[in-house]
């Protein structure tokens, strides 16, 4: 996309502009890094603090349109600007919330995109080049499948996995529509060639189900014994602990998980908290944890555990209800403020809940016993004596209203 406007110039200009094109590409990458670090975050931060999802989506779209306009003003394609904006937003701490907010529009926009591609096809031009389209499509599928299989095996994947991957990814990518359309707009393609290229892409996508079926059949003929240790670390990385709320309790949980190398991902609706946590290297993203689309975006379905440490009891209850309904097999641990809140969460079916004051009272009691001169053995015996019956008595005592 960087070179297309330059390739549209005369031969002399093209030959003398290759160095400039390289410099432009390097400059654009530098701008991407700088903009991602110094522009996207500050632009979205005050909007996110407002808590209005409509304004948040509008700002994200404005950023995309702004980048497209800037690229167009400096002589590059608007598609490149929109692509850059998408990369920047995807690398920001707001990416999961943005993905959740645009989810209702994604299917509609994809439908419109592919509809416009289909309407741009000229059936007459296709029928005149049937043999060329068929041969080119077969060559594309074979070459790309072979490349993916070779790369997969070079990366250490077993042969059956490499074959399935190659056949699954053998079709042309939808980004080809954008590149070929831009090239046609710059008059770099001969008349009628765009229809042929688009037809090749469309047909390669249409035969993907058949390619997947064939890949599974071929891969099934190869039996490779793979040790479970090979995939153990990968599975561990793909199943992190999800922490909802990154206040003092959430940060403590994250630090403990980090200390034992357990992967986690955290979400919080406080932009200041997210920014501060990311500066300290924590894996925290902005998002409203109670929304089902946000939970889907952060991969709650694949989490090994959900830890809810939200301050607001109503928000925490709403998230627990949503998570339990959508992901009944994922364990949920909840921080409760008191015994009444713990009872409420237990009734919702969480796997573990504990009042935050209970542990604090035990630690304070231990410190008081030590300061009062009680020796270590007696203190240990006292805490060991907190059997289920004594625990229940303490619980009833804490429930007594003054």
Q: What is the DSSP string of 285-302?
A: EE--TT-HHHHHHTTGGG
* Rounded CA separation 365/378 (Å): 13
Q: How far is CA 381 from the centre of its chain?
A: 49
Q: Note the pTM of the prediction, 2 decimals.
A: 0.56
State how far the alpha carbon of 371 is from the alpha carbons of 105, 364, 386, in Å. 63, 11, 20
The β-bridge partners of 307 are 243, 333
Residue (of 142, 140, 199) closest to 172 by Cα position: 140
Q: Do 285 and 96 form a contact (C-beta atoms < 8 A)?
A: yes
* Rounded CA separation 295/96 (Å): 9
pLDDT of residue 290: 76
Q: Do 67 and 81 form a contact (C-beta atoms < 8 A)?
A: yes
pLDDT of residue 387: 47
Q: Which tokens in the block code for residue 184?
A: 């046609």
Domains annotated for the chain, with CATH where assigned, are: 4-120 (no CATH), 123-219 (no CATH), 235-399 (3.40.50.720)
Contacts 24+ apart (CB under 8 A), 206-213: 207/137, 207/141, 207/171, 208/168, 208/170, 208/171, 211/141, 211/145, 211/167, 211/168, 211/170, 211/171, 212/164, 212/167, 212/168
- For the chain (402 residues), the mean pLDDT of every run of 10, in chain order, is 55 51 66 69 78 79 83 73 79 78 77 75 76 90 92 85 88 77 70 80 87 88 52 51 86 85 86 83 82 82 86 83 85 82 82 74 73 77 59 50 43
Asked whether the CA dihedral 94, 97, 100, 105 is positive or negative, the reply is negative
Residue (of 289, 249, 243, 291) closest to 269 by Cα position: 289
pLDDT of residue 395: 54
Q: Which residue has the tokens 């700002």?
A: 59
Q: Do 236 and 260 form a contact (C-beta atoms < 8 A)?
A: no
Please return the burial class of 101, using the count of CB atoms within 10 Å of its CB with bins 0-12, 13-18 and 19+: buried
Q: Count Cβ atoms below 10 Å from residue 58 Cβ, excluding itself.
A: 13
Which phi and psi angles does 375 have, rounded to 5°?
-70, 165
The β-bridge partners of 343 are none
* Rounded CA separation 15/139 (Å): 31
pLDDT of residue 89: 82
Q: How many CA atoms lie within 13 A of 238 on its CB side?
A: 7
* Rounded CA separation 153/155 (Å): 5
pLDDT of residue 227: 41
Please give the angle made by the CA atoms of 122, 112 and 205, to the nearest 5 degrees: 60
The β-bridge partners of 242 are 265, 306
């Amino acid at each position: 996309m960087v070179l297309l406007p330059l390739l549209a110039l005369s031969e002399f200009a093209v030959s003398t502009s290759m160095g400039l094109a390289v410099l432009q590409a390097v400059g654009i990458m530098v701008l991407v890094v700088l903009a991602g670090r110094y522009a996207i975050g500050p632009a979205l931060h005050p909007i996110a603090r407002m808590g209005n999802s409509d304004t948040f989506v509008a700002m994200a779209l404005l950023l995309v349109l702004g980048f497209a306009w800037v690229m167009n003003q400096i002589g590059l394609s608007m598609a490149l600007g929109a692509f850059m904006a998408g990369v920047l937003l995807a690398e920001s701490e707001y990416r999961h919330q943005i993905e959740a907010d645009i989810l209702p529009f994604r299917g509609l926009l994809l439908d419109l995109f592919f509809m416009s591609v289909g309407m741009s096809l000229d059936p007459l031009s296709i029928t005149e080049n049937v043999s060329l389209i068929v041969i080119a499509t077969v060559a594309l599928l074979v070459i790309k499948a072979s490349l993916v299989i070779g790369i997969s095996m070079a990366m250490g994947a077993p042969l059956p996995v490499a074959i399935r991957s190659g056949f699954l990814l053998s079709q042309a990518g939808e980004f080809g529509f954008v590149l070929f359309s831009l090239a046609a707009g710059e008059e770099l393609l001969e008349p009628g060639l765009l229809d042929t290229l688009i037809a090749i892409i469309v047909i390669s996508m249409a035969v993907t189900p058949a390619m997947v079926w064939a890949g599974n059949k071929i891969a099934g003929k190869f039996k490779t014994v793979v040790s479970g240790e090979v995939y153990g670390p990968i599975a561990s990385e793909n199943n992190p602990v999800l922490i909802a709320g990154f206040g003092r309790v959430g940060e403590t949980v994250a630090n403990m998980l980090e200390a034992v190398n357990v992967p986690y991902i955290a979400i919080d609706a406080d932009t200041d908290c997210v920014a501060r946590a990311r500066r300290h290297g924590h894996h925290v993203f902005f998002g409203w944890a109670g929304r089902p689309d946000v939970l889907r975006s952060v991969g709650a379905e694949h989490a090994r555990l959900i830890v809810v440490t939200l301050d607001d009891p109503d928000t925490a209850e709403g998230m627990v209800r949503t998570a339990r309904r959508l992901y009944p097999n994922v364990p949920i641990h909840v921080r409760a403020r008191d015994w009444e809140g713990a009872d409420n969460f237990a009734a919702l079916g969480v796997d573990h809940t504990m009042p935050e004051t209970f542990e604090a009272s035990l630690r304070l009691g231990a410190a008081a016993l030590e300061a009062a001169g009680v020796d270590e053995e007696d203190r240990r015996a006292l805490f060991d004596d907190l059997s289920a019956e004594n625990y229940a008595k303490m619980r009833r005592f804490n429930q007594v209203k003054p």
